[in-house]
Amino acid sequence: MRQTFFVYIIRLYNSGSEIASLCVGSFLLASTGLLNGLKSSTHWLYSDLFRQFFPDVLLEDDKVITFEKRIYTSGGANSYWNLLLYIVEKYTNREVAIKASKFFELDINRNSQSPFTIFRGQKEHLDFTVIEIQEFIEKNYNSKITVTELAKKFNLGRRTLERRFKKATNNSLIQYIQRVKIEAAKNKIELENKTISEIMFEVGYSDSKSYRDIFKKITKLTPLEYKNKYRKSA
């Protein structure tokens, strides 16, 4: 049955049809081989698993929509609305798409999943030393952590550590440390009645510009924008 489905999708594509996947439907689409060498999105929760299964696909897990060579993919389940608006605009015009977005009360310009992403750490690997390092970072996110200190603590050469960590997690050590700190900051913004500055210090940052830039790079929102989006008004 599955093989019949793959053959059918490939036949449609080869006949000139456009193909679209919604949410984790990208796994099925990628299994046909049609996404090899192309950009794709999927639900952010399954992005690490997607990369493991389909290393030849150029996953852009922060994107709501990708379109390349007659193939559309979309992110989380409700992102299909944004995909529909994209297709409406493509085959009509911007005015019609805007009217549709207003009628259905949709954000027509939403193009990133990053504000919704929950960083869970990439631990779906078998390098147990790297897992120990990840757990150490997660327990000590409020401290200043350097690659040199980690290498010394875990008795590894710096280059060896960086290479093994990148191979196991698909993140550099610096990226991982930043993502852990920002995830902690996000949780505090959502749940604790503290100022942006207080939270910044609590997650181990002292430079407000650096903190703001890293926060926005990861979430596509500034700390204040994130607070306004997720903190419940008093």
Q: Where are the domains of the chain?
A: 2-116, 128-230
> For the whole model, what pTM was predicted?
0.64
Grade residue 176 by pLDDT with cuts at 50, 70 and 90: very high
Q: How confident is the model at residue 15 (pLDDT cuts 50, 70, 90)?
A: very high
Give the position of tokens 């147990």.
128
Q: Do domains 2-116 and 128-230 have the same CATH topology?
A: no
Would you call 97 exposed, middle or buried from its count of C-beta atoms within 10 A (0-12, 13-18, 19+)?
A: buried
CA 210 to chain centre: 21
206 falls in which pLDDT band (50, 70, 90)? very high
**What number is the average pLDDT over the span 34-57?**
92
pLDDT at 234 exceeding the cut of 60: no
Question: In CATH, what class is 128-230?
Answer: mainly alpha
Q: What is the pLDDT of residue 35?
A: 96
Per-chain mean pLDDT for the chain: 89
Mean local confidence (pLDDT), 202-214: 94
> Is the per-residue pLDDT at 13 higher than 90?
yes
Q: What's the CATH number of domain 2-116, 3.50.30.10, 3.40.50.300, 3.40.50.880, 3.30.1330.30?
A: 3.40.50.880
